[in-house]
Amino acid sequence: MLVALTVALSGFSIPIGASRCFPAQHLANVLAGVSMAFCTSLIRNLMGTGSLLAFPGSMAGAFLGAFLYQKTQKLLLAYIGEVFGTGIIGGLLCYPVASLLMGKETAVFFFVTPFLMSTLAGTVLAAVLITVLRRLGLFGYFERLISE
C-alpha cells in the first residue's frame, strides 16, 4: 500500500540542481524501510518519474532509519537515520551512479544538498504523520502491520 501511495505521489517533486526532491519517498522510507524504497524506486524509474539516483538515496536512508529504529525503538533516531542515510550517504553514493551509469560529470558532494533538502521535507512530514497517528492511538497498529 505504501509503495502504491508513494508512486502515486511521484508527480509531487521539486527540481533542485540535477536532482528532484521527492519528499513522499522519504516519508514512506521512515514508515516502511528498504524493500519499499527499492520497489518504489524501481516503479518510478519504469514510469519515468524517477532516475537511477533514487536507488542509492532512498535505500541508504530507509536502511539506516529502519536499522536505528529497530535497535533503539526511538523515532528520533529513525528520523536522523533517514536524513543522514539519504542526505549524506545516499548523496555520496549517487556520485558513482551519476558518473559511471548516467555519464554525468559532477562533484562528489553535488547531490548532498538536494538530497538533504528532499529528505528533510519528507522526514518532517513523516514525523507529523506519526505524531498524529500516535495521538489517535493508531501508531501501534501500523507499527505491527509494518513489522509483519
Residue 52 within any structural domain of the chain:
yes
Any domain includes 7: no
Is position 99 within any domain? Answer: yes
Residue 10 placed within a domain: no
The pLDDT assigned to 7 comes to 83
Give Cα separations from 12 to 3, 78, 100, 138 (angstroms): 15, 24, 28, 26
Tally of domains in the chain: 1
Q: Tell me the percentage of the chain whose pLDDT exceeds 70.
A: 95
Domain-embedded: residue 13: no
- The Cα 148–Cα 99 span in angstroms is 38
Q: 57 lies in a domain?
A: yes
Residue whose C-alpha cell is 502515486: 8
pLDDT at 93: 94
Asked if residue 86 belongs to a domain, the reply is yes
Domain containing 44 equals: 20-147
Residue 9 lies in a domain: no
pLDDT digit string, tens, across residues 95-113: 998 888 888 888 888 889 9
Q: How far is CA 17 from CA 2, 29, 77, in A?
A: 27, 22, 28
Question: Structure pTM?
Answer: 0.75
